[in-house]
Amino acid sequence: MNKNEFIDKVADLSDMSKADAARAVDAVLDAITSALKAGDDVRLVGFGTYSAAQRKAREGRNPRTGEKIQIPASIQPKFSAGKGLKDALN
């Protein structure tokens, strides 16, 4: 499911127009992104937790040439599924 299909599904489930659903989906994604940028976790009870994790700089290898390269430190988003989501899938 891509973003447009997701927006269509939200519009259908909530009896919203597609434009309103698109604004709502964009607002949720922006809120999650800004919270992670600020260093906060986003906990959606029953669904899961979004968090940001620091990755250290490390040495890697170019798979084509085998040459050593430096991979810089970065912050990576992470998602941990909650019990409700896990139960819904199993």
Answer yes or no: do 47 and 80 share one domain.
yes
Answer yes or no: do 87 and 50 share one domain.
yes
pLDDT-derived band at 5, boundaries 50, 70, 90: very high
**Total domains, the chain:** 2
Residue 67 sits in a domain whose CATH number is 4.10.520.10
- Of 33, 29, 41, which is closest to residue 3 (Cα–Cα)? 29
Answer yes or no: do 88 and 51 share one domain.
yes
Range of the domain at 35: 1-40
Answer yes or no: do 8 and 33 share one domain.
yes
Answer yes or no: do 29 and 63 share one domain.
no
Answer yes or no: do 22 and 61 share one domain.
no
pTM equals 0.79
pLDDT-derived band at 69, boundaries 50, 70, 90: very high
Whole-number pLDDT of residue 33: 96
Residue recorded with tokens 């430096």: 70
Whole-number pLDDT of residue 34: 96
Percent of the chain with pLDDT over 70: 100
- Longest CA span, the chain: 55
pLDDT-derived band at 23, boundaries 50, 70, 90: very high
Separation of alpha carbons 58 and 69, rounded Å: 9
Taking CA atoms, 33 is separated from 2, 25, 69, 70, 76, in Å, by 18, 12, 30, 27, 12
Whole-number pLDDT of residue 30: 97
Residue recorded with tokens 């990576």: 76
Answer yes or no: do 45 and 82 share one domain.
yes
Answer yes or no: do 58 and 90 share one domain.
yes
Answer yes or no: do 67 and 84 share one domain.
yes
Average pLDDT over residues 68-81: 95
